[in-house]
Amino acid sequence: MRALRTATTGMSAQQMNVEVISNNIANMNTVGFKKQRAEFQDLLYQNVERMGAQSSETGTVVPTGIQIGNGVKAGATYRIMTQGSPTRTEGTYDLAIEGKGYFQILMPSGETAYTRAGNFSVNDQGQLVTDDGYLVQPAITVPQGIRDVAVSKTGQVQVVQDGVTEPTIIGQLEIATFFNEAGLEAMGDNLFLESGASGAPSISTPGDVGYGTLLQGYIEASNVDAVSEITSLIVAQRAYEMNSKVITTADEMLSVAGQLRS
């Protein structure tokens, strides 16, 4: 029975749906994490009687026809790029982007990665780095003997040194935007890579038209909503159960057909 194969595709689809939801829930407290949604497409149809086909010699046509579907397949795992809530940390090197944009990170391979996670630190040379020690671009080096570090909304980095009353500018942060943020390739560690789907990055100063501003002492929380994820999980579970019920019913029908006697 075709129903067995069709229901199997439905169970596989809902299994993947649960896997996507579980990843969202697991990353509820991941800085700058962007949740995903599984999207599905119906499979090819078998045309038993094609719509629009001529049904008589007088020219009458079949209005709707008979098409039987073959199930479902995964279409995409769409990443939802809405902004998470800014969370105050009071950390000197914690930065959140309010609006559009990504921090640029120099990878050991020489590639540039992009992230919304602004929980930065300084290394043993005073360079601004990620949790993994990757350099933030443009490079910012904080000198020794300072009393305070200030990052403006427009990304200008200033320090106040001992014995000096006026702040000194030591660098300017820039952020990148993309035509299709959802097309960025996630590589783990809160990092994304440019892809053919995302388009090339446009880089500018925070606060320019179309670019967000920076908040010092804040980090961006995950945009995962616990209530909606649990609701989606329940819906996926019910859909999985319904597909399994179809398989059970089809098996019972086959069993009845096998017991027929002529």
Whether 10 and 65 map to the same domain: the answer is: yes
Whether 25 and 103 map to the same domain: the answer is: no
186/181 Cα distance (integer angstroms): 11
236 and 244 Cβ atoms separated by less than 8 Å: no
pLDDT band at 44 (very low <50, low <70, confident <90, very high): confident
Check whether 262 has a pLDDT greater than 70: no
User: Using one digit for the tens of pLDDT, what is the confidence trace for 142-171?
Assistant: 998 888 999 999 999 999 987 777 899 999
The structural domain count of the chain equals 2
Give residue 69's domain range: 2-81+224-258
1/11 Cα distance (integer angstroms): 16
pLDDT the model gives residue 221? 96
Whether 70 and 21 map to the same domain: the answer is: yes
Whether 152 and 43 map to the same domain: the answer is: no
Whether 161 and 231 map to the same domain: the answer is: no
User: Using one digit for the tens of pLDDT, what is the confidence trace for 162-213?
Assistant: 777 789 999 999 999 999 999 999 999 999 999 999 999 999 999 999 999 9
Whether 123 and 205 map to the same domain: the answer is: yes
Whether 207 and 132 map to the same domain: the answer is: yes
